[in-house]
Amino acid sequence: MKSLTISSIFMLSIILSSCDTQKTKEKEEDKITQYTIEEFYNNINYSGGYFSHDESKLLVSSNATGIYNLYALHTDGTLVDTLSNNTEESWFANSYFPKDDRILFSADKGGNEISHIYLLDEDGNVIDLTPEENEKASFAGWSKDLKSFEYISNKRDPKFFDIYEMDIENFESEMIFENNTGGNPSGISDDKKYVAISKPITTSINELIIVEVESGEQTKISPENPTASYSAQEFSADSKYLYYTTNDGSEFTYLSKYDLESGESEKVYETDWDIWYANYSWDDTYRVMGINEDAKTSVKITNTKENEEVEMPTIKGGNINGVGISRSENKMRLSVGSSKSPGNIYVYDFESNELKKLTESLNPNMDKEDLVEGEVVRYPSFDDLEIPSVLYKPHQASADNKVPVLVWVHGGPGGQTRLNYSPLIQYLVNHGYAIIGVNNRGSSGYGKTFNRLDDQKHGEDDLMDCVYAKDYLANLDWADTSRVGIIGGSYGGYMVMAALAFQPDAFDVGVNIFGVTNWIRTLRSIPSWWEAQKTALYEELGNPNTEDSVRLYEISPLFHADKITKPVMVLQGSNDPRVLQVESDEMVQNVKDNGVPVEYVLFEDEGHGFRKKENEIEGYGKIKVFLDEYLK
Distance CA 626, CA 583 (A): 21
Tell me, yes or no, whether 444 lies in a domain: yes
Q: What is the pLDDT of residues 568-590, one digit of tens each?
A: 999 999 999 999 999 999 999 99
DSSP 427-448: HHHHTT-EEEEE--TT-SSS-H
HSE of 443 in the Cβ direction (CA atoms, 13 Å)? Answer: 25
- Dump the DSSP string for 57-111: EEEEEE-TTSS-EEEEEETTSS-EEE----SSS--EEEEE-SSSS-EEEEE-STT
In angstroms, the CA 64 to CA 71 distance is 10
Name the DSSP letter for residue 248.
T
| CA 360 to the chain's CA centroid | 22
pLDDT value at residue 535 = 86
In a domain, 580, yes or no: yes
What integer is the mean pLDDT of 541-565?
A: 96
Asked whether residue 538 is assigned to any structural domain, the reply reads no
Average pLDDT over residues 426-452: 97
In a domain, 83, yes or no: no
The predicted structure's pLDDT at residue 30 = 56
pLDDT at 279 over 80: yes
Give the pLDDT confidence score for residue 31 in this predicted structure. 73
**Mean pLDDT, the chain, as a whole number?**
94
Specify the pLDDT at position 574: 96
The domain that holds 375 is classified in CATH as 3.40.50.1820
Instruction: Print the domain residue range for 444.
Output: 29-39+366-518+562-630
Q: What is the Rg, in whole angstroms, of the alpha carbon atoms belonging to the chain?
A: 26
Kindly state whether residue 115 falls inside one of the protein's structural domains: no
Record the pTM. 0.92
Strand partners, 104: 95, 119
Q: What angle do CA 38, 489, 465 make, to 5 degrees?
A: 125
What is the pLDDT confidence band of residue 529, given thresholds at 50, 70 and 90? confident
Is the pLDDT at 8 greater than 70? The verdict is no
Q: Are strands 103-107 and 116-120 parallel, antiparallel or unpaired?
A: antiparallel
Please, which pLDDT band fits residue 274 given cuts at 50, 70 and 90?
A: very high
CA distances (Å), 604 to each of 110, 112, 415, 429, 518, in order? Answer: 8, 11, 27, 29, 21
* Alpha-carbon 481 to chain mean position: 29
pLDDT of 262 reads: 97
Whether residue 413 has a cis bond before it, omega within 30° of 0: yes
Residue-wise pLDDT for 332-343, tens only, equals 999 999 999 999
Question: 23 falls in which pLDDT band (50, 70, 90)?
Answer: very low
376: in domain: yes
Order of strands across the sheet with 241-246?
A: 230-235, 241-246, 254-259, 265-269
Q: What whole-number distance in Å separates Cα of residue 128 and Cα of residue 158?
A: 19
Best CA proximity match to 45, nearest among 621, 610, 505: 610
Span 554-581, mean pLDDT?
96
Residue 287 pLDDT more than 50? yes
Q: How many structural domains is the chain composed of? A: 1
Instruction: Supply the angle between the helices 613-630 and 423-430 in degrees, to the nearest 10.
Output: 40
How far CA 284 is from CA of 38, 194, 306, 348, in Å, comes to: 44, 18, 12, 18
- Are residues 163 and 195 in contact, defined by beta-carbon separation less than 8 angstroms? yes
Alpha carbon of residue 632 to chain centroid: 29
- Alpha carbon 560 to its chain centroid, in Å, reads 29
When pLDDT is averaged across residues 494-514 and rounded to a whole number, the result is: 98
DSSP 223: P
Residue of 514, 516, 486 lying closest to 499 (CA atoms): 486
Determine what percent of the chain is predicted with pLDDT higher than 70. Answer: 95
* Mean pLDDT of all residues in 205-232: 96
Is residue 101 within 8 Å of residue 119, measured between CB atoms? no
- Find the range with the poorest average confidence among 16-20, 229-233, 348-352, 467-471: 16-20
**Runs of H (alpha helix) within 483-527:** 491-502, 519-524
Domain assignment of residue 389, yes or no: yes
Q: Bigger pLDDT: 18 or 360? A: 360
- In this prediction, residue 19 carries a pLDDT of 46
In a domain, 543, yes or no: no
Residue 82 sits at the vertex; the CA angle it makes with 76 and 87, to the nearest 5 degrees, is 155
